[in-house]
Structure 1
Amino acid sequence: MWEIFLLLAVLQCGLLIWLGQVGERLAREEKAAIFGLAHEDDWPSAALIIPAAGEDPRMEEALETLLEQDYPRLLPVVVTASETDPAVRLIKSLQARYPALRHVVAGEARGCGQKNHNSLAGVAAVGTAAEVYVFCDSTHAAGPDFVRRLVAPVARGEAEFSTGYHQVLPRDNRPVTMAYALCVQLMRYLQGLGRQFTQPWGGAMCISRQAFERHQVREIWAGNVVDDCSLAGVLSARGVAVKLCPGALLRTEAAAHRLDVWRAWMDRQVLFLKFCVPAQWRLLGVLCAVMALPPLMAVLSLLGGLTGLASTGCVAVAFLYLIGLAAAMGHWRGLAGSTQPLWRWLLSFALSAGMFAWVYARTLRAQGILWHGIWYEVGEGGRVRAMRR
């Protein structure tokens, strides 16, 4: 038994250390601001399309940061499903301060995710007035050069699709808040492993208009439950690379994060892959085992050592594993700029691993996704079979 434990412990700690090195590289690249475009006229006209819904307290600040971008010829469009959506009042208030802001009402989605429907309505409203489309979530704060960083690879002709990501800044030391931030940190580092692991993230994504048409993104989204993972599956099959822009990093503050909200978010992340990119979902199952089994085996080994039921080898591996995990999490804590005690990071990791295993197990037999009050019955490739509000 201790040999299996040792193998899994080495795999996990090695992976965490490797991802920490990826995080260091992303941090260096994030600070770089070399765009390679000397004149303002070199930048393509861009539409900033932002689907919005509800009354998230972070939305006003996030939208303001997106509307104050240092980018020439930027066409900002915020899209809601209806004229009565709670977000509309905020949008109208912002239009008084940002006259360039356009509000589009998409109507209720039929046969696809509401976010997809909203994004497509934004594209239709912009038409050919923009050479690139930038899609962003409405609740993440952006730096003033965020759009430039995201558009630059497309403008330089390096890629047809580029993506950023986000970072969660925990504003308290509650286990769920910190575990949520750690999960997002892990997903960001996985994006940076290499081009085969980089896929578009719908919260910060840029597509040239030509690529949008050539790859039939409109047709893909019009029948799919989600925007980014549906593209990931298609682009991967076609051998189309997505350029990761480490500097196009949005930030989200989290405090008193609720367990049910975190679990529902993790459900969607895993289910989107299951339906849209099943090969990655199966690989995610391997990652789940590597992350969840060593902490469980360590606890059982230490308890067994106290009761005389575990071998000396298992107890020794448990202590060595905890030392390795503490070293890896200490590195991650430094990369996140956190001042929380190391034991809180270890607790957050254990909680994340347990939630990961629980959520993945729930997805094994899942046939649909609940998202923003809409139940989507989903088939192969993420195509929507039925919807229920």
Structure 2
Amino acid sequence: MHIEWYQTVSLVFVITQLYFLEFIRRNNQHNLKRKDKDSLNDYRPNVYLTIPCKGLDTEFEKNISAFFKLAYPNYHLSFVVESEDDPAFPVLSRLKREFAGQTKALSVQVGVAGVSENACQKTHNMLHSLKFVPEDTEVLAFADSDARPLPEWLGSLVHPLKQEKKVGASTGYRWFIPIDGNIPVLFLSILNAKVAQILGKSRFNQAWGGSMAIRKDLFYKLDLHKIWQTCVSDDLTLSLQVLKAGYRIRYSPLCMVASYEAFTWKRLFDFIYRQLMITRVTSPIVWFLGVIASLFSVCGSWGALIYGIYGLANSLPSAYYALGTSLIFFAAMSVRAYWRQKTMQNLLYRYREDIQKYSIYDITLSSIVSLFMIVFLFVSAFGRTITWRGVRYKMISAYRAKRIRN
């Protein structure tokens, strides 16, 4: 029996797509089961939680207040800004006073790190905070000021570190929620959801700086306190060091955080470009795999659709195979979007209504957003200069960057 080339190509695309669909289905099931394990209360080490701040994020006070309300008994809370002139400083100082006696945090401090002379202001702030870590601290945890965690977030974040010989770091991830239907953030939330769905029982787990933890002794053993002095990315360099040392990075589903945002289109493009640029320089293999996956998705859906229409117009026998492949790809994208939306509504239960309000856009527009991802990846293939919270940096390597004076 003779098999035409287009039959082979179609079969390969469909089988690969169905395999990925099954992977996502199992991953969602795993994360829902994992949620209950990571919420156990049998491991409660002393934790030092650092949150670097610069400027006032959207709904800044609500985000910061959530860290005061964590249901964890043994943690120190440290906020750090560049200077007292930062708009975040007076707000943090006021919240510290307001929550005095109402938080389970053993101590709360608002530090001033000064201007970074070498690399990223964020890592500079974080290293300044670590100068004040109590001796009895076992775990270092980090979060971003645009994140809003659940009360059980910290307990779930440190629980995977109980497996000292296997797990080097634990992490969560963010879920963007548009404020008042903000379209740029709605667009971003769909892109971001495609990444979030991969985290779980996967070798592709990477630590995310807005929700990550590592044992204190391992942090210093891996020389992260030295690496962070000259780099831009706190999380990707941590991931590189942890994986290089032979440890795993465990994703904890209850460590997903909500990020309520309202962007302008310019801020959206700057954000996506910066994230992809940092990934390309710091972890080029991950970036390249993202390019391959995006190309595969677009070729199997839009590419096959366009070719199928062309084939019908020219009476090509391959047209029906192309259209069938396209239909399967579009359907699979919608099914995956539906699954991840349902999973996230379960994990971020406090924000279920807000997530549910915009879930239909992910389900129906996911394939269209994929087209734009190709464009962003292409643009991020060039240059090494990024702007982060008003400061420009030139990325020289994964471990080295230079602050550009304005």
TM range (shorter): 0.7 to 0.9
Contact 2:304–2:325 (CA<8 Å) still a contact in 1? no
Structure 2: give runs of 5+ residues left out of the alignment.
Answer: 101-106, 343-354
Aligned ranges for residues 287-302 of structure 1 at < 5 Å?
287-301=293-307
The reply to whether residue 136 of structure 1 matches residue 153 of structure 2 is no
Query: What letter matches 1:220 in structure 2?
Result: I
Aligned residue number for residue 45 of structure 2: 44
Query: What letter matches 1:159 in structure 2?
Result: V
Q: Secondary structure at the match of 1:222?
A: coil
Aligned ranges for residues 22-61 of structure 1 at < 5 Å?
22-35=27-40, 37=42, 43-61=44-62
Query: What letter matches 1:283 in structure 2?
Result: L
Shift of 1:201: 0.9
Equivalents in 1 of 2:124, 2:10: separation in Å? 47
1:318–1:94 Cα change, 3 Å: same
The reply to whether residue 181 of structure 1 matches residue 182 of structure 2 is no
Contact 1:179–1:348 (CA<8 Å) still a contact in 2? no
Q: What whole-Å deviation, never above 9, does each CA across 1:88-129 have from its counterpart, x for those lacking one? A: 121022011123421001111122111111111111133535
Structure 1: give runs of 5+ residues left out of the alignment.
Answer: none
Aligned residue number for residue 122 of structure 2: 115
Equivalents in 2 of 1:330, 1:17: separation in Å? 11
Equivalents in 2 of 1:324, 1:73: separation in Å? 48
Identity of matched residues, %: 21
Which among 235, 244, 247 is matched to residue 254 of structure 2? 247
Aligned residue number for residue 212 of structure 1: 219
Contact 1:163–1:200 (CA<8 Å) still a contact in 2? yes
Equivalents in 2 of 1:361, 1:258: separation in Å? 22
User: What TM-score do you get using the length of structure 2 for normalisation?
Assistant: 0.84
Q: What whole-Å deviation, never above 9, does each CA across 1:285-323 have from its counterpart, x for those lacking one? A: 2112112323331442355367x2473533543244224
1:290–1:13 Cα change, 3 Å: farther
Contact 1:192–1:244 (CA<8 Å) still a contact in 2? yes
Query: What letter matches 2:384 in structure 1?
Result: Q
The reply to whether residue 18 of structure 1 matches residue 23 of structure 2 is yes
The reply to whether residue 356 of structure 1 matches residue 373 of structure 2 is yes
Aligned residue number for residue 131 of structure 2: 124
1:174–1:317 Cα change, 3 Å: farther
Q: What whole-Å deviation, never above 9, does each CA across 1:203-233 have from its counterpart, x for those lacking one? A: 0111211112111111011110110111222
The reply to whether residue 388 of structure 1 matches residue 405 of structure 2 is yes
The reply to whether residue 378 of structure 1 matches residue 395 of structure 2 is yes
Query: What letter matches 2:33 in structure 1?
Result: R
User: What TM-score do you get using the length of structure 1 for normalisation?
Assistant: 0.88
Q: Secondary structure at the match of 2:197?
A: helix
1:340–1:96 Cα change, 3 Å: closer
Aligned residue number for residue 267 of structure 2: 261
Query: What letter matches 2:376 in structure 1?
Result: V
Aligned residue number for residue 273 of structure 1: 279
Contact 1:329–1:342 (CA<8 Å) still a contact in 2? no
Shift of 1:200: 1.2
Query: What letter matches 1:18 in structure 2?
Result: F
Query: What letter matches 1:253 in structure 2?
Result: Y
Shift of 1:374: 1.8
Number of residues of Structure 1 aligned to a counterpart in Structure 2: 382
Equivalents in 2 of 1:140, 1:342: separation in Å? 20
Equivalents in 2 of 1:315, 1:172: separation in Å? 43
Q: Higher mean Cα deviation, 282-291 or 140-149? A: 282-291
1:133–1:213 Cα change, 3 Å: same
Equivalents in 1 of 2:272, 2:219: separation in Å? 28
Shift of 1:136: 0.4
Equivalents in 2 of 1:312, 1:254: separation in Å? 49
Q: CA RMSD in A?
A: 2.8
Aligned residue number for residue 345 of structure 1: 362
Equivalents in 1 of 2:178, 2:308: separation in Å? 31
Contact 1:173–1:340 (CA<8 Å) still a contact in 2? no
